[in-house]
Amino acid sequence: MSAAHLLASAGMDQSICIWNVWSRDQKLARVLNFHSAAVNDVKWSQQGLFVLSCGYDCSSRLVDVEKGIETQSFREELAVRVVKFHPENSNLFLSGGSKGLLRLWDIRTGKVAHEYIQSLGPILDVEFTINGKQFVSSSDVSGSNMSENSIVVWDVSREVPLSKQVYVEAYTCPCVRHHPFDPYFVAQSNGNYIAIFSSTPPFRLDKFKRYESHGVSGFPIKCSFSLDGEKLVSGSSDGSIYFYNCRSSELERKIKAYEQACIDVAFHPILPNIIGSCSWNGDVSVYE
């Protein structure tokens, strides 16, 4: 979401839709058709003027939303699954690809500034730590019997993994999110819970606390922290949205949102009581 009233969604139909959430009649503000295959991910720039997207056409694309024009295209050899802007420098973004390829791009030059090479499975998600000096990658380990490498913490500038044995359960994690200001991150696990990890060395798993009640069941289900860091909200395979207390990890409430799996949910970046969500069959909703 951005500009307080706009929401972006990416689709398998190759398009990105910009929605005017508060409009009474015409909700769809703009359709951006710059990809030539399914779109995997879309993120707003920090000022909310651009969206960055990536997809199966082996590219990431930066689009000026107001003008509806593509300003840059970043080509890769393989499908791009996820993109993430650097939290401190909006000219940099990470891309994660289908064969474990991780790259940090510089928008000013249109070139790769850093490349992170490790024999990983397809990248499912990436997340920066608060200061942007490290990032966490999650990759699909289902193709191998190696439990390590599913979650890797990287040093951004040195291009080296700081830890590869963060999570030794044999589950893939479709989503990683860092707490807004506390030194920990979470990973949504296909073990049907959200695991908690320290974001300072040695990046340990919290064995005494986790968020559980919702289902993942193989869906690419995302979670999101509230702006004040008090709540963690998650989608679920049962079509509900689950609200957890961050400190106690207890389930506070759930909303039945869809008949099919709720695969993504995000807090509004400005308004604390608004969340956007979407379902496996393509419905997009906003809740207050």
Taking Cα atoms as reference points, which of 230, 235, 266 lies closest to residue 250?
Answer: 230
CB distance 56 to 40 below 8 Å? yes
CB distance 91 to 85 below 8 Å? no
Mean pLDDT (whole number) for 46-65: 96
Count of other CB atoms within 10 angstroms of residue 209: 13
Q: What is the pLDDT of residues 133-190, one digit of tens each?
A: 999 999 997 766 566 679 999 999 999 999 988 998 889 999 999 999 999 999 999 9
Tell me the percentage of the chain whose pLDDT exceeds 70.
97
Please tell me the distance from the alpha carbon of residue 152 to that of residue 199, in angstroms, as a whole number: 11
Structure tokens at 223: 């979670």
Q: Assign 63 to helix, strand or coil.
A: strand
Q: Assign 257 to helix, strand or coil.
A: coil
1-117: in CATH 3.10.310.10: no
Q: What's the pLDDT at 2?
A: 56
The CA–CA distances, whole Å, from 181 to 96, 152, 185, 191 equal 24, 20, 10, 26
Element (H, E) at 156: none
Residue 258: pLDDT over 70: yes
Please tell me the distance from the alpha carbon of residue 67 to that of residue 83, in angstroms, as a whole number: 22
Residue 1: pLDDT over 70: no
Q: Are strands 193-198 and 205-211 parallel, antiparallel or unpaired?
A: antiparallel
Residue 6: pLDDT over 80: yes
The structural domains of the chain, with segments of one domain joined by +, span 1-117
Q: What's the pLDDT at 227?
A: 94
- What letter would DSSP give residue 236? B
Please tell me the distance from the alpha carbon of residue 186 to that of residue 163, in angstroms, as a whole number: 16
CB distance 51 to 44 below 8 Å? yes
Count of other CB atoms within 10 angstroms of residue 150: 29
Please tell me the distance from the alpha carbon of residue 71 to that of residue 51, in angstroms, as a whole number: 10
pTM for this prediction: 0.94
Q: What's the pLDDT at 169?
A: 86
Residue 4: pLDDT over 80: no
